[in-house]
Amino acid sequence: MFETKGREDEFKDQYRPLILSKRFSKDRKQLESLINDKRVIVQDQLESQLSEWIRQTNPNEQMTSAVLEKKAEEFFKEKGLKSDDYGNWVFYPWRNTLVSVLEEEEFVAVRTVRNKYKITKEEQESLSQKKIGIIGLSVGQSVALSLAMERCFGELVIADFDSLDLGNMNRIRTGIFNLALKKTYIVAREIAEIDPYLKLTLYNEGINDENIDDFFTLNGNLDLLVEECDSLPIKIGSRIKAKSLGIPVLMDTSDRGMIDIERFDQDPERPIFHGLLGEFGSEGELVPSLANRGKEMMMSLLQYENLSERVKFSFSELGKSITSWPQLASSVIMGGAICCHYARMILLGQKVPSGRYYIDLEQIIGSYEGKS
């Protein structure tokens, strides 16, 4: 039986849901204990989920209650199961909640039905085999949730050393009850609540020299990297690693809708960051040069002259009225959607060339500095 106290250091694997099946005697005992525990919230909506699955697999038929009941009986007979033995129960210890769900094949079919035909069945199956890494979980949180909702991966590997601060909550979608919780756990929990069958691997200390190889290659190479961290050494080092392995990289910067696409899978000799750091030496010399030329490198990477006027002004206020440059929820959420869109295209082999691109909403309609 679980005792849920609400913090990670008091409950191991707090971000992992427990999936239980009535068909296994050990699981049945745990289920009985959870269901009979008055502290546990039990949500049983399996019948409505199965009805939804039946309707979507028989789109041309009129589904009365009698027809649904007959189709359900046929479904259980085909499975060789009693109705009470079908389905899984998912226990979320951080919510102290037990939820009944369809088994994986039917669950995935129902949850992705509104993807059709924007994403074909064959494409959805292909995406389910992909492994994506995300470094940095501010913008990265929006990317991760978009990817999870579209089910664009089979495994997501996420890395961030930081915990949630109140000042993060202008752009990270979560509640104040998660303050001081690891950002990795916040993302992992929300994805598990969307889809308990998706696989997540967490690097709670972020990326460093000791774990970078594992992050990229443990149990198979990443198919794509989304880099959204603040650390310039990690930005550089992760690209050098991705380039050596032929892994494409995406990055959104939350200003003017700027997104970098680096197709190291198609062009293994391509310079990192589109060659914007070429004047600072070879790629192997960049990190050692950061101590003396880090600010110059950052300005070169950002192409300061192309930044929005308000972000330019914010740089003059660093260390005076602010401690970090601004990011808005609207930009971060849009960046998450953009990265998800291009990630899907890359993973499905669609044409996505390397480059730096701008999806600048102010430019499309006109700067908000003007008056209507």
> pLDDT tens, 157-196?
999 999 999 999 999 999 999 999 999 999 999 999 999 9
Sign, Cα dihedral of 347, 270, 207, 231: negative
Reported as type and span, the H/E element at residue 216 is: helix 212-217
Strand locations in the chain (E): 18-21, 41-43, 88-92, 97-101, 131-135, 155-159, 199-203, 224-227, 249-252, 258-262, 355-358
Spans of all domains in the chain:
8-111, 121-365
For 2-16, what is the mean pLDDT?
51
Of 179, 185, 189, the residue nearest 148 (C-alpha): 189
For 46-54, what is the mean pLDDT?
97
Task: Say how far apart CA 366 and CA 371 lie, in whole Å.
Answer: 10
Using the predicted structure, report yes or no on whether residue 11 has a pLDDT greater than 70.
no
Task: Say how far apart CA 49 and CA 51 lie, in whole Å.
Answer: 5
For 103-115, what is the mean pLDDT?
97
The whole-angstrom distance between residue 206's C-alpha and the CA centroid of its chain comes to 15
Q: Are strands 88-92 and 131-135 parallel, antiparallel or unpaired?
A: unpaired
Using a 10 angstrom Cβ sphere, with 0-12 exposed, 13-18 middle and 19 or more buried, the burial of residue 95 is middle
Top CATH class of 121-365 equals alpha beta
The whole-angstrom distance between residue 208's C-alpha and the CA centroid of its chain comes to 20
pLDDT digits (tens, 9 = 90+) for 73-89: 999 999 999 999 999 99
Which residues is 100 bridged to in the sheet?
A: 89
Q: What percent of the chain has pLDDT over 70?
A: 95
Task: Say how far apart CA 117 and CA 196 lie, in whole Å.
Answer: 24
Predicted confidence band of residue 365 (pLDDT cuts 50, 70, 90): confident
Residues 53 and 113: beta-carbon distance below 8 Å: no
Task: Say how far apart CA 305 and CA 300 lie, in whole Å.
Answer: 9
